[in-house]
Amino acid sequence: MVGADTLFPEIASSDHIISVAVPVPLRQTFDFLVPDDSPTAVRGARVKVPFGTRKLVGVITEVKSSSEFPESKLKKALEILDEISLFDEPLWHTLQWLSRYYLAPIGEVIGTALPSLIRQGGELRPANKKSWVLTDHGRASPLDELNRAPLQLAIIKRFMQSSLLDASDFKETSSGWRQAVNALVEKRWVQEYVSEPALAARTLKVDAREIETDLTLTGQQQDAVSGLFNAIDDKVFSCSLLHGVTGSGKTEVYFAAIDHVLALGKQALLLVPEIGLTPQLIDRIEQRFSAPVVMMHSGLNDTERHLAWWHARQGNAKIIVGTRSAVFSQFSDLGIVIIDEEHDGSFKQTDNVRYQARDVAIYRAKQHNIPIVLGSATPSIETYVNASNGRFKLFRLTERASKVSLPKIELIDLNQQATNDGLSPSMLEAIKMTVQRKKQVMLFLNRRGYAPVLYCKDCKQAAKCHRCDSHLTLHRRANRLRCHHCGYEGVIKTNCGSCQSSEMVDVGEGTQRVEDALALRFPESTVLRIDRDSTRRKGELAELLEQARSGKADILLGTQLITKGHDFPNVGMVGILEADQGLYSTDFRASENLFQQIIQVSGRAGRRDDVGHVFIQTRFPEHSFFDKVLTHDFNGFAEQLINERKAANFPPFGYFALLRCESAHQAKSLQFLRKAKDDMVNYDGVRIMDAIPAPMERRAGKYRAQLLVCSSQRSSLNACLAQWLHFLATDAQAKKFASSVRWTLDIDPLDHY
Ligand code: ADP
Ligand code: ZN
Ligand code: ZN
């Protein structure tokens, strides 16, 4: 492997002009003259440039001898910050591709790929600033010992969430933090870290534990592993789908592949969903590997992120585990990419640069000539199709590693029995039996708050958000009305806003109401509610999940936060309180998502010893959707969806782009999109739909509209939109209109609202 510094040949002295991508939402680069005292300008290096009245840090995209602008008009760049490129060739090509494919400004794309300290022009090498890490002794000591030192306790709790802390992390803590940290250093719970930029503390293993792999892989796991070993040894690009039912031991297969890559001296990248990066996974990785690991996720502070980036780039870190943006990490020698729960929606970024990390990872693996593995119990239809048509290799794990059968799924017909606080008599009975058997119960309801609607009995009006086309949700714990769309929060009025009547009733149930009902009915049992409201503080989700796992709670109740990949060993029964929303939705992906959710949440039941039970409450037990659910027939379900999508030319058989627009003036968003439609040139095979209001038109006081552009050919869709963007940038009138509204372009959108 060549080092980054040898990748770019010395430039000719006539090349005195540089094109620079600057972090602004403009789809172009800007030319500057190389500053006099900078003998070297290389593509991929950062450069400080004057931009209007500001000074910006950009990245050189080209070094050249002439510009389309007269040289006398070009400004001189202020300073070239790097002597070498910050991007290896595969990453550079990936970013260029990303910018073209998603029609995203190259400056923003490059910005997305760099940690903020680097983006702002900081030193590549992390500063030797004084910081602290938790010692093994500190990690092993019981927290009660700190009961009389609340500040020290608070500090240790922070260390449990963040590997490496420095003064900036304590700014908001009490002023006595320095003393408290010193006391902890004295006790050897915490240790100072001054010298070399450290690998994240979690990998500072004084005594690398002996690695235990006493598992004997099942035949199916073994087949998948040998297939992946071959793919790794081939040293060419390949993409594989590991389609394994919940609990089939996919993680063990990933680990075997990582082992193999590490033995070759290479690095492994493991991408996980946003909430998949649980302490449980981290522990599992650390118990399994003695190689240095870094984590990259949204919870890192700037210093930690910079360190993680640096260690991956230097090759110090061998295993890089991260959420979607980790796909932009730099490596010294990458050997494999693994994406766990590849179907998960969090791999798609939904603001700024709207990329799908799974697709970016595939492109990148191709550039590196290495294998990539996508794993899931419920693959996305896109991936499933690629595996069926042979574009991806397919490995299947059809049985659970523990040999326990998949859970038995039953429907509860809500036409036959009424629910009370969201719970039907059959559901209550099932909960009771499970609790009696000393097994955990897990209940899934994807609606937080107490009640979704506060309704006036007299005038039949519901309390509405004044900024959105939406009801306000009643939150009893906080005693507030909240809007789940814009964050508005207000007091609970005892009188109707329209008619002043005091006959206000709360209708429907959220997790809080069900929690109360459970507490009443099962007073002996501990109920644990896990949703966004109960996990606002950093680290709280991890804490609750750990409580759930350790078996401290008898009944877990939660939103989708509890569905993903967690291995709760003692769950005997799963209840899905409401499954109907996805059945008749206008969103063509709703049933796919519902199926995935049901299978994932069901997968938490009966993972160890005896067969688990799943109960689904529904008003539509006859719906054909449930035939496939009851038999765990993901393939059958997928085939059905594929036929539907093929017939309708929906993804992945047709390609979509969604142009969204919002404005404070009701008519303007639609006007802008109608004009956009008129301005777009009709490429062959491209269909431009009509501009329509968004399903929820008003949100946070803005009126939103959307325009769907479809094509059976990606290239014509891309060309059509690129042409329009060009028109927008060059036509004065169009440009003016565009700057008076807020619009965004989403290629391969996941959400259609
Ligand atoms: P998945 O990721 O497919 O849901 P996991 O990898 O989490 O499944 O495995 C589920 C459980 O089965 C874990 O506790 C794991 O340790 C165990 N397991 C995996 N493979 C084996 C095996 N070959 N033999 C015994 N137990 C296994
Ligand atoms: Zn009223
Ligand atoms: Zn609102």
- Please name the residue that has the structure tokens 């992945």: 652
Q: Which of 246, 252, 396, 563 to mutate to test the pocket of ligand 1 (most atoms within 8 A of CB)?
A: 252
Q: Is 483 left (phi over 0), alpha (psi -120 to 50) or beta?
A: beta
In the beta sheet, which residues pair with residue 80? 47
User: Percentage of residues in the chain with pLDDT exceeding 70?
Assistant: 94
Measured from the Cα of 340, ligand 1's closest atom is 2
Q: Which ligand 1 atom is the nearest neighbour of the CA of 603? A: 4
| CA neighbor of 236 nearest in space, from 143, 336, 135 | 336
Q: Angle 569-572-573 (CA atoms, 0-180°, nearest 5)?
A: 130
Nearest CA to ligand 1 atom 9: 249
Q: Is 286 in the pocket of ligand 1 (CB under 6 A)?
A: no
- The CB of 215 under 6 Å from ligand 1? The reply is yes
Residue 11: which pLDDT band, with cuts at 50, 70 and 90?
very low
Ligand 1 site, residue 247, Cβ cutoff 6 A:
yes
> From atom 27 of ligand 1, which residue's Cα is the shortest distance away?
401
* CB-ligand 1 contact for 248 (6 Å cutoff): yes
What's the pLDDT score for residue 7?
44
Sheet holding 489-491, edge to edge: 473-475, 480-482, 489-491
Label residue 205 by pLDDT band (50, 70, 90).
very low
**Ligand 1 touching residue 250 (CB < 6 A):** yes
Is residue 405 pLDDT above 80, yes or no? Answer: yes
CA–CA separation, 190 and 336 (whole Å):
35
pLDDT digits (tens, 9 = 90+) for 80-103: 999 899 999 999 999 999 999 999
pLDDT (tens digit per residue) in 610-619: 889 999 999 9
Confirm or reject: Cβ of 221 under 6 Å from ligand 1: yes
pLDDT of residue 321 exceeding 70: yes
Q: Is 60 exposed, middle or buried (0-12, 13-18, 19+ CB in 10 A)?
A: buried
Query: With a 6 A CB cut-off, is 252 part of the ligand 1 pocket?
Result: yes
Q: What is the CA radius of gyration of the chain?
A: 28
For ligand 1, pick from 567, 568, 571, 608 the residue to mutate: most ligand atoms within 8 Å of CB.
Answer: 567
The answer to whether 489 and 499 have CB atoms below 8 angstroms apart is no
Write out the two tokens for 688: 């431009």
Instruction: Please identify which residue in the block is written with the tokens 């199709």.
Output: 385
Question: How confident is the prediction for the chain on average, in pLDDT?
Answer: 89
Give the whole-angstrom CA distance, residue 58 versus residue 60.
Answer: 7
Please give the structure tokens belonging to residue 496.
Answer: 């109707």
Encode 222-261: b = buried (16+ Cβ within 10 Å), e = exposed. eebbebbbebbeeeebbbbbbbbbbbbbbbbbbbbbbbbb
| Residue 553 and residue 440 in contact, taking contact as beta carbons nearer than 8 Å | yes
Residue 249 Cα to ligand 1 midpoint, Å, equals: 4
Ligand number nearest CA of 496 is 2
Cβ atoms of 340 and 272 closer than 8 Å: yes
Q: What is the pLDDT of residue 316?
A: 86
Alpha carbon dihedral 658, 659, 665, 670, in 10-degree steps, equals -80
173 close to ligand 1 (CB < 6 Angstrom) = no
- 221-256 pLDDT tens trace: 999 999 999 999 998 999 999 999 988 999 999 999
Amino acid at the residue 627: D
CA-nearest of 161, 321, 346, 336 to 266 is 336
Question: What number does the ligand 1 atom closest to the CA of 397 have?
Answer: 3
Does ligand 1 have an atom closer than 6 angstroms to the CB of 278?
A: no
Atom of ligand 1 nearest to the CA of 218: 23
Question: What is the number of the ligand closest to the CA of 504?
Answer: 2
DSSP secondary structure string, 284-322? HHHHH--S-EEEE-TT--HHHHHHHHHHHHHT--SEEEE
List pLDDT tens digits, range 734-745.
999 999 999 999
Segment (H or E) for 444: strand 440-444
How confident is the model over 621-645, as pLDDT tens digits? Answer: 999 999 999 999 999 999 999 999 9
| Among the listed residues 590, 657, 119, the one whose alpha carbon sits nearest the alpha carbon of residue 354 | 657
Q: Is 694 helix (H, G, I), strand (E, B) or coil?
A: strand
Inform me whether the pLDDT recorded for 1 exceeds 70: no
For a pocket test of ligand 1, which of 373, 402, 570 has the largest count of ligand atoms closer than 8 A to its C-beta?
A: 402
% of the chain residues with pLDDT over 90: 64
Q: What is the pLDDT of residue 336?
A: 98
| CA proximity to 317, closest of 280, 297, 338, 291 | 291
For 687-734, how does the pLDDT look when each residue is reduced to its tens digit (9 = 90+)?
A: 999 999 998 999 999 999 999 999 999 999 999 999 999 999 999 999
CA-CA-CA-CA torsion sign (537, 354, 383, 581): positive
Terminal-residue alpha carbon distance, the chain? 45
For ligand 1, atom 10, the nearest C-alpha belongs to: 247
Ligand nearest to the CA of residue 463, numbered in listed order: 2
**Both tokens assigned to 718:** 């891309």
Alpha helix (H) ranges present in 425-549?
425-436, 511-521, 540-549
Secondary structure element (H or E) that encloses residue 706, with its range: strand 702-711
Residue reference for tokens 């009709």: 682
Query: For residue 645, with 0-12 CB atoms within 10 Å meaning exposed, 13-18 middle and 19 or more buried, which class applies?
Result: buried
Decide if pLDDT at 203 tops 50.
no
pLDDT band at 210; cut points 50, 70, 90: very low
Helices (H) and strands (E) in the chain, counts: 23, 31
Q: How far is the CA of 336 from the centre of ligand 1 (A)?
A: 21
How many angstroms separate the CA atoms of 413 and 203, rounded?
51
Q: How far, in Å, from the CA of 703 to the mean position of ligand 3?
A: 12
**Nearest ligand, CA of residue 473?**
3
Atom 15 in ligand 1: residue holding the nearest Cα: 249
- C-beta 564 within 6 A of ligand 1: no
Nearest ligand by distance to the CA of 502: 2
How many Å lie between the centroid of ligand 2 and the Cα of residue 224? 62
Give pLDDT, residue 717: 97
40 vs 530 pLDDT, higher one: 530
* CA–CA dist 531, 445 (Å, integer): 10
The tens digit of pLDDT for each residue in 579-591 reads 998 888 888 899 9
Pocket flag, ligand 1, residue 153 (CB < 6 Å): no
Looking at ligand 1, which atom is closest to the CA of residue 567?
7
Q: Work out which ligand 1 atom sits closest to the CA atom of 245.
A: 3
E strands in 445-484: 453-456, 473-475, 480-482
Helix (H) or strand (E) holding 663: strand 655-663
Q: CB of 378 closer than 6 A to ligand 1?
A: no
Q: Are 531 and 445 in contact (CB under 8 A)?
A: no
Q: All domains of the chain, ordered by start, with CATH? A: 4-119 (3.40.1440.60), 129-195 (no CATH), 210-397 (3.40.50.300), 408-451+508-642 (3.40.50.300), 655-747 (3.30.70.100)
280 lines ligand 1 (CB under 6 A): no
- Asked if the model's pLDDT at residue 5 lies above 70, the reply is no
- Segment 120-130 mean pLDDT: 82
406 touches 629 (CB < 8 A)? no
> Is the preceding omega at residue 651 within 30 degrees of 0, hence cis?
no
Asked if 343 contacts 596 with a C-beta cutoff of 8 angstroms, the reply is: yes
State in Å: Cα 490 to ligand 3 middle.
Answer: 11
Find out whether 254 and 298 touch, Cβ atoms under 8 Å.
Answer: no
pLDDT at 397 over 90: yes
d(CA 308, CA 91): 17
Least confident of 129-133, 152-156, 570-574, 646-650: 129-133
Q: Which amino acid is at 17?
A: I
Answer yes or no: is pLDDT of 211 > 90: no
Q: What's the confidence (pLDDT) of residue 163?
A: 66
Question: Which H/E stretch holds residue 463?
Answer: none
Residue 246 Cβ contacting ligand 1 at under 6 Å? yes
